[in-house]
Amino acid sequence: MGRRGPKPTKADAIARAALSLFALYGVRGATTRAIARMAHTTEGNLYRYYPSKQELARQVTAACLLEFGESIGRALDGVAGPAARLAAFVRAYLGYVREHPDEHAVILDAHNGNLAGLPENVLRPRRILVDVLADGMGDGTFERSEVGVLASFIAGGLARMAQVDRARPEPLEPGRVDEEAVAMVLRLVGIPAPAH
């Protein structure tokens, strides 16, 4: 049976190679020469598709963030109530990291280097978390606090938690990690953990 869908382009191959190398070495550490080599092209040809390494990094990061936001958005579709939506966000975040470790590494690298210059629509994961927290504070489900600071704390904690778990010789059972994270995040907003 033949292959379905459009044929991958050289630009796609370059972006995939960049994703892999940015995940391993960060944008600063990955060279255009190594990216071109991995994409089976020349460095000069790479610049035909992307005018600079920074533009390539911007496009790769934007694609990762867009996919991450869509994944979280799908996970929250149809989920009602701030506590349930926050729990779904936590599970979706950790699930995405497990399934897309390279993309998550690129997102973290971008956060460390600042996300300035990225279109607002790709910053959806943070916006979703802020909205869920604001809704919960607005209706009294969550304790009041500074939404932006709390969102940064939760996202940073989930990112670190995922990195530590991935680095373990034997990662913990995903369901256990997810439910512990959900319980911790819910306690942060003033929802006691359910009794076992």
Q: Which amino acid is at 48?
A: R
Cite the DSSP H helix spans in the chain: 10-29, 32-38, 43-49, 53-76, 82-99, 101-113, 124-138, 147-167, 174-188
Residue 4 has pLDDT above 60, yes or no: no
**Which of the 8 DSSP states describes residue 56?**
H
What topology is assigned to 58-188 in CATH?
A: Tetracycline Repressor; domain 2 (1.10.357)
Q: Yes or no: say if 144 and 189 are a contact pair by the CB < 8 Å rule.
A: no
The pLDDT, as a whole number, for residue 193 is 66
The pLDDT, as a whole number, for residue 1 is 46
Cβ neighbours, 10 Å, residue 132: 26
Which has more confidence, 171 or 69? 69
The pLDDT, as a whole number, for residue 190 is 94
Q: Yes or no: say if 90 and 185 are a contact pair by the CB < 8 Å rule.
A: yes
Listed by start position, the domains of the chain span: 7-51, 58-188
pLDDT tens string 106-158: 988 887 765 656 666 666 788 899 999 999 999 999 999 999 999 999 998 99
CATH 1.10.10.60 matches 7-51: yes
Q: What average pLDDT score do residues 184-190 get?
A: 95
The length of the chain, given as a count of residues: 196
Q: Yes or no: say if 136 and 107 are a contact pair by the CB < 8 Å rule.
A: no
Q: Rounded to an integer, what distance in angstroms lies between the CA atom of residue 166 and that of residue 176?
A: 14
Q: What average pLDDT score do residues 178-185 get?
A: 92
Q: Yes or no: say if 10 and 41 are a contact pair by the CB < 8 Å rule.
A: yes
The pLDDT, as a whole number, for residue 20 is 96
pLDDT tens string 33-80: 999 999 999 999 999 999 999 999 989 999 999 999 999 999 999 999
Tokens of 76: 């929250």
* pTM of the full structure: 0.85
Q: Rounded to an integer, what distance in angstroms lies between the CA atom of residue 33 and that of residue 22?
A: 13
Q: What is the dihedral of CA 128, 130, 133, 135, to 10 degrees?
A: -80
The pLDDT, as a whole number, for residue 114 is 59
